[in-house]
Structure 1
Amino acid sequence: MTIREIMVGYPASKDINLHPYYQGRAGQWVWRFYHFRFTRAGRWFLGLTGTIFFVIALFWNLDTQTVPLALYFSGLWCLSLVAFFPLGVQAQVRHAERITAGETLMAEVTVTNSGRRPLVDLSLQGWGLPLQVEALPEEGVPVGNLQPGESRQVAFPLHCRGRGAFILGGYRLLSDFPFGLLQAYRVQRQPTRLIVHPSFRPLTRFTLPHGRRFQPGGIAMASQVGDSFEYLGNREWRDGDNPRDIDWRSTARLAGAAGAALVVREWREEYFLRVGVVLDTHIPAEAPAPSRLFLRELKERLPAPGSALARQAALERAVSLCAAVSDALAREDYIVDLFAAGPMVYHLTAGRSLAYREQILDILACVEGSPEEPLAGIAPRLHEQLDRLTTVVCIVLDWDERRRHFVENLRQRGVGVKVLWVSETDDAQPTEGDMQVLPPSAFSQGGVDAL
Structure 2
Amino acid sequence: MRPPRRLRFSRAGWFFSGGSVLLGVAAIGTGNNLLFLMLGAMLGFITLSGWLSEQMLRRLEVRRRAARATAGAPSRIVYEVRNGNRRLPAYSVEAGEARSAARGWIPVIEPGQGGTARAEQVWETRGVYPLETVTLSTSFPFGLFIKERDVDVPGEVVVWPRTDRPVREPRPAGERARRTGEVFAGSAGARGEYRGLRPYRAGDDPRDVHWRTTARVGHPVVREYERDRSRALWLCLDLRAAEDEMAETAVEIVAGVAAAAVRRGDAFGLATQDTRVRPGAGAAQLERVLDVLARARFRPDAPRLEPPVAPGECVLVTAGGPGTGWGDVFAAAGGGR
TM-score (norm 2): 0.66
Q: In the alignment, is the contact (CA less than 8 A) between 1:273 and 1:390 conserved in 2?
A: no
State the SS of the aligned residue for 2:87.
coil
CA spacing shift, 1:66–1:392, aligned 2, 3 Å: farther
CA distance in 2, matches of 1:194, 1:336: 24
Task: Give the corresponding residue for 2:304.
Answer: 378
Q: 2:60 aligns with which of 64, 89, 92?
A: 89
CA spacing shift, 1:117–1:185, aligned 2, 3 Å: farther
Across the aligned residues of Structure 1 and Structure 2, the Cα RMSD in angstroms comes to 4.3
CA spacing shift, 1:127–1:273, aligned 2, 3 Å: closer
CA distance in 2, matches of 1:271, 1:112: 54
Q: 2:249 aligns with which of 317, 320, 323?
A: 317
Q: In the alignment, is the contact (CA less than 8 A) between 2:86 and 2:111 conserved in 1?
A: yes
CA spacing shift, 1:49–1:207, aligned 2, 3 Å: same
CA spacing shift, 1:114–1:339, aligned 2, 3 Å: same
- 1:197 equivalenced with 2:160 (yes/no): yes
Gaps of 5+ in 2: 195-227
CA spacing shift, 1:48–1:208, aligned 2, 3 Å: same
CA spacing shift, 1:154–1:208, aligned 2, 3 Å: same
CA spacing shift, 1:180–1:219, aligned 2, 3 Å: closer
Letter in 2 for 1:278: L
Q: In the alignment, is the contact (CA less than 8 A) between 2:236 and 2:315 conserved in 1?
A: yes
- 1:362 equivalenced with 2:291 (yes/no): yes
Task: Give the corresponding residue for 1:121.
Answer: 91
Q: Give a deviation string over 1:210-266, Cα, whole Å, max 9, x none.
A: 2676999x7763226564359xxxxxxxxxxxxxxxxxxxxxxxxxxxxxxxxxxxx
- 1:177 equivalenced with 2:111 (yes/no): no
CA distance in 1, matches of 2:31, 2:286: 69
Letter in 1 for 2:139: D
Q: In the alignment, is the contact (CA less than 8 A) between 2:176 and 2:327 conserved in 1?
A: no
Task: Give the corresponding residue for 2:204.
Answer: none
Task: Give the corresponding residue for 2:241.
Answer: 282
Task: Give the corresponding residue for 2:29.
Answer: 64
Q: In the alignment, is the contact (CA less than 8 A) between 1:113 and 1:148 conserved in 2?
A: yes
Q: In the alignment, is the contact (CA less than 8 A) between 1:121 and 1:177 conserved in 2?
A: yes
CA distance in 1, matches of 2:44, 2:186: 77
CA spacing shift, 1:90–1:190, aligned 2, 3 Å: same
Shift of 1:339: 1.8
Q: In the alignment, is the contact (CA less than 8 A) between 2:311 and 2:327 conserved in 1?
A: no
- 1:333 equivalenced with 2:262 (yes/no): no
Task: Give the corresponding residue for 1:228.
Answer: 192
Q: Give a deviation string over 1:196-220, Cα, whole Å, max 9, x none.
A: 211121657413252676999x776
State the SS of the aligned residue for 2:272.
strand
CA spacing shift, 1:209–1:47, aligned 2, 3 Å: farther
State the SS of the aligned residue for 1:64.
helix
Q: In the alignment, is the contact (CA less than 8 A) between 1:121 and 1:142 conserved in 2?
A: no
Task: Give the corresponding residue for 1:432.
Answer: none
Task: Give the corresponding residue for 2:104.
Answer: 141
- 1:387 equivalenced with 2:310 (yes/no): yes
CA distance in 2, matches of 1:313, 1:214: 27
Q: In the alignment, is the contact (CA less than 8 A) between 1:213 and 1:388 conserved in 2?
A: no
CA distance in 2, matches of 1:318, 1:357: 16
CA distance in 1, matches of 2:329, 2:290: 21
Task: Give the corresponding residue for 1:99.
Answer: 69
CA distance in 2, matches of 1:39, 1:281: 51
CA spacing shift, 1:388–1:281, aligned 2, 3 Å: closer
Shift of 1:105: 3.0
State the SS of the aligned residue for 2:289.
helix
Letter in 2 for 1:359: R
CA distance in 1, matches of 2:304, 2:75: 34
Q: In the alignment, is the contact (CA less than 8 A) between 1:118 and 1:145 conserved in 2?
A: no
Task: Work out the percentage of aligned pairs sharing the same amino acid.
Answer: 18
**Number of equivalent positions:** 293
Shift of 1:192: 4.0
CA distance in 1, matches of 2:12, 2:266: 61
Gaps of 5+ in 1: 1-26, 231-268, 284-310, 423-436, 439-447
CA distance in 2, matches of 1:209, 1:373: 32
CA spacing shift, 1:185–1:109, aligned 2, 3 Å: same
Task: Give the corresponding residue for 2:169.
Answer: 206
- 1:78 equivalenced with 2:52 (yes/no): no
Shift of 1:358: 0.8
Shift of 1:281: 5.9
Q: Give a deviation string over 1:379-420, Cα, whole Å, max 9, x none.
A: 3x33xx343751332332x44xxxx6xx24xx2xxx424242
State the SS of the aligned residue for 1:206.
coil
State the SS of the aligned residue for 1:116.
coil
CA distance in 2, matches of 1:43, 1:313: 46
Q: In the alignment, is the contact (CA less than 8 A) between 1:275 and 1:389 conserved in 2?
A: no
CA distance in 2, matches of 1:363, 1:357: 10
CA spacing shift, 1:335–1:89, aligned 2, 3 Å: closer
Shift of 1:167: 3.6
Q: In the alignment, is the contact (CA less than 8 A) between 1:202 and 1:328 conserved in 2?
A: no
Shift of 1:115: 0.9
Q: In the alignment, is the contact (CA less than 8 A) between 1:106 and 1:156 conserved in 2?
A: yes
Q: In the alignment, is the contact (CA less than 8 A) between 1:89 and 1:186 conserved in 2?
A: no
Q: Give a deviation string over 1:267-291, Cα, whole Å, max 9, x none.
A: xx754554342245623xxxxxxxx
TM-score (norm 1): 0.52
Shift of 1:361: 0.4
